[in-house]
Structure 1
Amino acid sequence: MKLTGREKSSLIFEGIVTVVLLILLNLAIITIAQDIVESNPGITSGIFMIKQSLRIGPMQAQIWSYQRIIIAFLIIIDIWVVWWRLRRRYHLYQMNHIIGELHYIAQGHLDHRIPFKLKGNEQHVITSVNALVDSAVQSMDDERKIEKSKDELITNVSHDLRTPLTSIIGYLGLIEDKQYRSEDDILKYTHTAYEKAKQMKNLVEDLFEYTKVQQHGAPVNIMKIDLNQLLEQLTASFELEAQHRGIEITSHVEPDPLMLEADPEKLGRVFSNLVSNAFKYGNGASYIKIDARQRGTKVVVKVSNDGTPIPAESIDHLFERFYRAEASRSRATGGTGLGLAIVKSIVDLHHGTVKAESNEQQTSFIVTLPLKQHK
C-alpha cells in the first residue's frame, strides 16, 4: 500500500513533533534527577562510592555515570515511543485506505476488490472484506439465476398450456357453433379435444412432480427395497405398450435379489420416465433393456434402446427442464420436456448421478445410486 504525499508529510511531521516533545521531556527529567542528587548528600555519597568501586584496567577508568545511564535509558524509551506513534499513525492510514476502498465498493463497484497486501490484522480485514464481497456477488448472481429460472418456467408452462388449450377451445367452439356436418365430425372434434386435455393433464402432473422434488428438503421415504422386484413390475406395466409398438422390453438384475435403500415411489418414477422417454423418442427401436448391477457400494442401472441416436450437441442439455432434442417444439411425441429433469432431481435426492450416452448402435441412460443412504 502506497501512502499519499499528504500522508507522508503528516507522518514526518508527527515524528518531528514527537522527537521535540521527547527532548523537552528528557531535559526536564535530567534536570529533576540532578536536583534530587545534588540536594541529597546521601545519594551523592552513594553514587560516588559506586563509581569508585567500578574502576577497571591499569588506568582505573570509570565505566559508570548515572547521567549516562539516565540518558541511555531515556534514548531507548524515546526510540520506542517514536516507533510506536509512527506505527500507530501508519496503521490508521492503512485503515483509512481500507475504508475508502469499502466506500468505493459500496457505491456499486462490486467487481472491485481491495488490491493491496498488508501484514497482521489489517490483512485479515482485507481478506474478510474481499471474501464477503465475493459471497454477496455470488448470492446476487444466484438470485438472478433463480429469478430468471422462474421467469423461464412460467414462460414455458404458459406456452405449453396455451397450445393444447387453444386446440380444445377451437374444436369445442366448432361444436358450440354447430359447424359440423355429421356425428363423425363431432366425435372427431371431441376426441381431439380429449387428447389435448390429457396432454394438459400430463404437463400439470409433471410440473407438480418437478416442483415437489425441487423444493429444498423435499421428503424422501427411504426404505429397503428389492430392485429386481421393482423393475419386474415396471416392465410388466409397459408390456402391452411394448407389444403394440413391436418392441421387446426386458430387465436383468445382478445379484438377485439386489437390495438398496431408496424411496420406492420416486425410484419407480425415475425408471418409468426413462422407459417412457425411450418409447417416445427411440424411433425405430426393436428393444428396451433395463440392466442393473451392483458395483461395490453402488448400483448401476442402464436403460438402453436401439432407436434413433441422440445428437451429440444435445447430450449435455437432456436433463434441463423443457429441453427437447428435436429442432421443433412439436407435440407429436406427447412429451412435456420435464421427464428427464424430474429423473435428475429424484436421483440427486438419492445422492446419485445420471448421464446419457448415445451412438449409432445404442442409446443408454445410466443411473448410479448408493446402496445405502447417509442420514
Structure 2
Amino acid sequence: MSRKRAYFFSSRSFLWKLTFVNIAVMALALAVSSYTIYNTACMLVEHMGPSYKYHNEFFNATLFRYLFIITTGGILVSGLLQVLFTRRVVNPLNDLLESTKLLQKGMYPEPIRAPKNKKDELGQLITQFNELIHQLESNATERKKLISDLSHEIRTPLTNVSGYLKAMESGVIEGSPEVYRSLLNETGRVTAMIEQLDHLAALDNQLDEDEPLVPVKVEEAVHRSQAAFRAKREEKQIEMEVDVERAVVKAVEKYVEQIVANFLDNAIRYYEGNGPITIRGEQQSDAYRLEVCGPSQTIREEDVPHLFDRLYRVDPSRSDATGGRGLGLAIAKEMTTRWEGDIGYERKGDDNCFYVTFPNRHE
C-alpha cells in the first residue's frame, strides 16, 4: 500500500475526521427529527380514544421500525455521499501536502491538477501553488545559469592575465606599454563586472526596503538622464530627438532616471546605421509608455525572451568590444517591478526600441 493511500485510511486523515464529524451531525439531526415525529404521531393516535388501543400499539411499533430504517439508511447514504464529495476537496490538499514535503527536500514537484472550479478558494490555492513552483524552478535555472555565466565571464580575463604574466616570467614576451595596456584592459573588465554586480546587489537591497512611490515628472527625469550622455553622443556624432508628453507618474524617481539611462546606454553603445536616437513618451488608455529607440542590428528572435535576464548577452563578441555585461536591462527590469509596470523590446523598422510603462493610478 502506498504511503499516500496509507495516510488516506489512517485515523489522522483529514478526510475521515471531516466525514465523522459530518456523519455525527447528520445522525443527531435525523435522530432528533425521527424522535420528534414519532412522539408527535403517537400522541395524535392516543387522542383517538381507548377503543383504538391495539391499533395504537401496532401503529407505534410500525412507525418506530420504519423511522429506524429510514434514519439508519439516511445516515449510511449521506455518509457515503459525504465521503465521495469530501474526497474531491481533500485529495488536492493531500497532493499539496506531498508537494510541500518534496519542496522541503529541495525537489520540485509536478504541478497539481486543479479542481474543475478554479474560481473557488481551493482552486485559487492550487493555481497559486503551481505558479509558485514554476517561479521557483525558473529562479533555480536562472541562478545556475548566472553562476555558470559569471564563472565564464571572470575566468576569461583572468586566464588572459595569467597567460601574459607566465609569458613575461618565462621570457617569451617582455614588458611594454602595449602589454601593460592589455593587462589593464583585462583587469578593467573584471572590475567593471564586479561593480555592476555590486550595483545589482545594492538594488535588491533597495527593493527590499520598499521605497515609497512618489509623483515623478517624466519630462524632467528624461532631461536629466539624457543630459549625461551628451558628450558620448557628440563623440560618435549621434543626433537625438526627444518627444515626451508631459505627465506625472507614480514611481521611484531615481529608478526612472536609471532605466532611461540604461536604455540610452544600450542605444549609443550598439548604434549602427543612420538616423537619430529617439525618446518618446505618451499617455495611453491604461498606462504611460516611455520608449528609447535607436538604429542597430536586428536582435535574433530566440534572444528576445532573454534580453532582461541577468548576464545574458545577445552577442558576446560585440559585448566584449563595447564593454556590455548583460546587467543593465536586468537592473531596469528589477526596478520596473517596484511600480508593477511593464518593460519590453520591439523592433520598429531599423530601430531597436526598449520601453517601460507606468500604470495609471487613481487615488
TM class, shorter-chain normalised? 0.5 to 0.7
2:258 equivalent to 1:269: yes
Determine the structure 1 residue equivalent to 2:32.
none
Rate the CA distance shift 1:92–1:347 in 2: closer, same or farther, 3 A.
Answer: closer
**Number of the residue aligned with 1:245:** 236
Whole-Å Cα distance in 1 between the matches of residues 236 and 208 of structure 2?
Answer: 40
Q: Give the superposition deviation at 1:64.
A: 8.0
Displacement after TM superposition at 1:153 (Å):
1.3
The Cα shift of 1:203 comes to 1.6
* 1:157 alignment partner, one of 150, 153, 156: 150
Tell whether the 8 Å contact from 2:287 to 2:360 is kept in structure 1 after alignment.
Answer: yes
Match of 1:305 among 294, 302, 305: 294
* Structure 1: distance between partners of 2:237 and 2:337: 34
Match 1:147 to one of 129, 135, 140: 140
CA distance in 2, matches of 1:254, 1:96: 58
Please tell me whether residue 254 in structure 1 is matched to residue 245 in structure 2. Answer: yes
Output the aligned Cα RMSD: 4.3
Q: Note closer, same or farther for the CA distance 1:270–1:133 as it changes in structure 2 (3 Å cut).
A: closer
Counterpart in the other structure of 2:197: 207
Describe the shift of the 1:48–1:356 C-alpha distance in structure 2 as closer, same or farther (beyond 3 A): closer
Q: Which amino acid aligns with 1:72?
A: T
Alpha-carbon contact 1:248-1:287 (below 8 Å) kept:
yes
Tell me which residue corresponds to 1:353: 342
Per-residue Cα deviation, 1:184-239 (whole angstroms, up to 9, x for no partner) = x6211222222222222222222233344456635435443333233223222211
Question: In the alignment, what sits opposite 2:49?
Answer: 50
Q: Does 1:332 align with 2:321?
A: yes
The letter of the residue matching 1:263 is: V
Seen in structure 2, the aligned counterparts of structure 1 residues 94 and 355 have a Cα distance that, compared at 3 Å, is closer
> Residue 228 of structure 1 contacts residue 252 of structure 1 at CA under 8 Å; is this kept in 2?
no
Conservation of the 8 A alpha-carbon contact between 2:283 and 2:289: yes
SS at match of 1:305: strand
Match in the other structure for 1:190: 180
Residues 1:289 and 2:278 aligned together:
yes
Distance 1:89 1:362, change over 3 A: closer
C-alpha displacement of 1:67: 2.2
Q: Partner of 1:231 in structure 2?
A: 222
Answering whether residue 54 of structure 2 is matched by residue 70 of structure 1, we say no
Q: 1:193 is paired with a residue of what secondary structure? A: helix
Shift of 1:295: 3.7
Distance, in Å, in 2 between the alignment partners of 1:48 and 1:248 is 108
C-alpha distance in 1, partners of 2:48/2:337? Answer: 91
Structure of larger gyration radius = 1
| Whole-angstrom CA distance in 2 between matches of 1:218 and 1:152 | 27
Give SS of 2:208's match: coil
Residue ranges of structure 2 left out of the alignment (5+ in a row): 1-45, 103-108
- Going from structure 1 to structure 2, the CA distance change for 1:326 and 1:227 (only over 3 Å counts) comes to same
Once the two structures are TM-superposed, the CA of residue 274 in structure 1 deviates from its matched residue by 0.8
Distance across 1 between alignment mates of 2:48 and 2:295: 113
SS at match of 1:65: helix
- Whole-angstrom distance in 1 between the partners of 2:276 and 2:173: 43
CA distance 1:282–1:94, shift in 2 (3 Å): same
Structure 1 residues 244 and 67: alpha-carbon distance in aligned structure 2, compared to 1, 3 A threshold: same
Q: Does the residue aligned with 2:354 lie in a helix, a strand or coil?
A: strand
Give the aligned length.
305
Alpha-carbon distance change, 223 to 135 in structure 1, aligned in 2, over 3 angstroms = closer
Q: Partner residue of 2:159? A: 166
Q: Is 1:235–1:251's contact at 8 Å kept on the other side of the alignment?
A: no
Aligned counterparts of 1:214 and 1:91: Cα–Cα separation in 2: 52
Q: Which SS does the other structure have where 2:320 is aligned?
A: coil
* Secondary structure of 1:261 counterpart: strand
Q: Specify the SS of the correspondent of 1:332.
A: helix
The amino acid across from 1:209 in the alignment is H
- Shift of residue 171, structure 1, vs aligned partner: 3.2
CA-to-partner distance for each residue in 1:220-267, whole Å, 9 max, x for gaps? 354433332332232222112112212113433223xx4333323222
Contact 1:261 1:373 (C-alpha < 8 Å) held by counterparts: no
Question: 2:47 & 2:279 partners in 1: Cα distance?
Answer: 108
- Structure 1: gaps of 5 or more residues: 1-46, 53-61, 118-122
1:315 partner amino acid: V
